[in-house]
Chain A
Amino acid sequence: MQRKVTTVILSTLVIASLLIGFAGCGQPRLKVATTTSLYDTGLWDYLEPMFEEEYGVELDIIHAGTGIALEYGMRGDIDIIAVHSKSREEQFVADGYGVERAPFAYNYFLIVGPPDDPAGIKDMSPEDAFQTLYQSASARFISRGDDSGTHGKEKAIWASAGYDYEEVRTAGRWYVEGGKGMGATLLMASEMGGYTLTDMGTFLSYQSELALVPIVQEGAILLNVYSVIAVNPESDPNTNIEMANNMVAFLTSPEIQELIGNYGVDEYGMQLFAPCAGAEPMS
């Protein structure tokens, strides 16, 4: 008797976990590869149920740096990408992997660091701040180091400040390649008492966990535009282009643009993302 009960309980448990574990394998799905900075702010978690309800599809959100998101797109492993690296996005479209680049939101990058600002770079231009960090070679700088959009911006600032990035990378122990997502890099910079470059949205949503304050926030180069690009069905015949187009229309629709503009305002007291569908800001 006892054996029978155990068997029944066990098989129920196994069946239940199998049902949970493989639920949804046959449903229609849309695969989005998104930059970690959009994911870590919780914006996707917020928008996901609305999209799923409106279009009756399961949204699979894979968060990765811009570099690997573009790679997934080129390989045809996902249907649409949401990233932030204008030059690489334009290349992606020009090479025939993407249909069209649709900017939908922007904010600004900023350099954050310890409140006592050991390198004394407060309110400098981003280029001067990087130059000072390089020359002092003592205050730590934590780089994403993962070929993400933020990492790309960091390289652009080094280039604009007149440095060869390969030299910066190997300049000394003060330059730390974290190799992590945005949130994890902020936590690492906070633990190490170093500086890092971050997007405003992720910084605000992590602020309570961090011993870091904004140090440099003025400079045209700090503009950060997020775009969405459907994978080109000519490059990947299996892509779900219809649903990807729905996603582009969804993100750039007036209602969702307004929700994006208001996202996080109550919680953080300021805007995380400014909507910009159809009117891309220029730096």
Chain B
Amino acid sequence: MTELWDGLVTALKLIISFDPEVMAIAGRSLAISATSSTLAALICLPLATVIHFNKFRGKRTLINIIQTMFSLPTVAVGLFVFVLFSSAGPIGGLDILFTPIVMVIGQVILISPIMLGLTISALSGVDKSIADTAVSLGASRFQMAAVTIREARFAVLAALIMGFGRAISEVGLSLMVGGNIQGFTRTITTAISLETSKGDLELALALGIILIVIALIINIVLNRIQQR
């Protein structure tokens, strides 16, 4: 039990003193996950509206597949991305393995199904008469989609936050394709894994607490934006 308490105390000390290494690790985690969440959102929001507003064969199956991919194991995505970007792999020539860039690519693959699937659910929850009304008032297809997204904004934001949460909390992918390089690809979760293997449980716990604090701040900020 003392370890938990010591972890909390260490976390507070590291935060209050702006420990440069911890701040750099936290900033890096935030930067990588925020970038991947933004990219994933830019892909998923339009794609979700296209899937939602169109009727086509196999739509149900497609949504089932997307929902199944919510359970993609992070290490499996990590292995896939590793093999893809390894020098011996099909696009190894880019030479970006063991950099933050490839971590972002991996996270986009990892979180896109969640953002996509939950955004489709969010749009399905909007009363269809809203879209119909918009059309009858002369709205273009694009405007109709915008109105529907606006109606569903709470649920859409929840989808984005879920995606971000998965990105910043995953460790398997970051370890495998990032390499946990100090000062370059070490994030909060890979640092926790390293410190735990070193037996420095207090620092590991402290980093865990810092991750939760970051998630809390992000949530507060997004919720404030949404309520405007």
Interface on A for B, CB 8 Å cutoff? Answer: 10, 14, 16-18, 20-22, 24-25, 31, 40, 45, 58, 60-63, 74-78, 180-181, 183-184, 187, 206, 209, 236, 238
How would residues 167 to 202 of chain B score, 1 for a CB under 8 Å from any chain A CB and 0 otherwise? 000000000000111111000000000001111000
How would residues 87 to 107 of chain B score, 1 for a CB under 8 Å from any chain A CB and 0 otherwise? 111001101011111000000
How would residues 1 to 34 of chain B score, 1 for a CB under 8 Å from any chain A CB and 0 otherwise? 0000000000000000000000010011111101
Taken together as a complex, chains A and B put the C-alpha atoms of A236 and B88 apart, in Å, by 9
User: Can you name 17 A-B residue pairings with CB atoms under 8 Å?
Assistant: A17-B34, A21-B27, A21-B28, A21-B30, A21-B100, A22-B100, A25-B100, A25-B101, A45-B182, A61-B181, A76-B86, A77-B87, A77-B98, A78-B98, A181-B197, A184-B196, A238-B95
Q: Give the contacting residue for A60; candidates B31, B35, B101, B181; CB below 8 A.
A: B181
Q: Check B137 for interface membership: any CB of A closer than 8 A.
A: no
A-B contact count (CB 8 A): 79
Complex contacts, A17 vs chain B, CB 8 Å: 27-28, 30-31, 34
Complex contacts, B86 vs chain A, CB 8 Å: 75-77
Q: Which of B101, B183, B196 has the most CB of A within 10 A?
A: B183
Q: Give the contacting residue for B87; candidates A25, A58, A180, A236; CB below 8 A.
A: A236
Taken together as a complex, chains A and B put the C-alpha atoms of A27 and B99 apart, in Å, by 12
Residue of A nearest to B92 (CB): A76
Q: Give the contacting residue for B35; candidates A10, A21, A236; CB below 8 A.
A: A21
Q: Are A10 and B30 in contact (CB under 8 A)?
A: no
Interface on B for A, CB 8 Å cutoff? Answer: 24, 27-32, 34-35, 86-89, 92-93, 95, 97-101, 179-184, 196-199, 221
Complex contacts, A60 vs chain B, CB 8 Å: 98, 179, 181, 184
Residue of B nearest to A20 (CB): B27
Complex contacts, A238 vs chain B, CB 8 Å: 87, 93, 95
Complex contacts, B97 vs chain A, CB 8 Å: 77
Complex contacts, A63 vs chain B, CB 8 Å: 180
Taken together as a complex, chains A and B put the C-alpha atoms of A17 and B100 apart, in Å, by 13
Residue of A nearest to B228 (CB): A3
Taken together as a complex, chains A and B put the C-alpha atoms of A22 and B184 apart, in Å, by 8
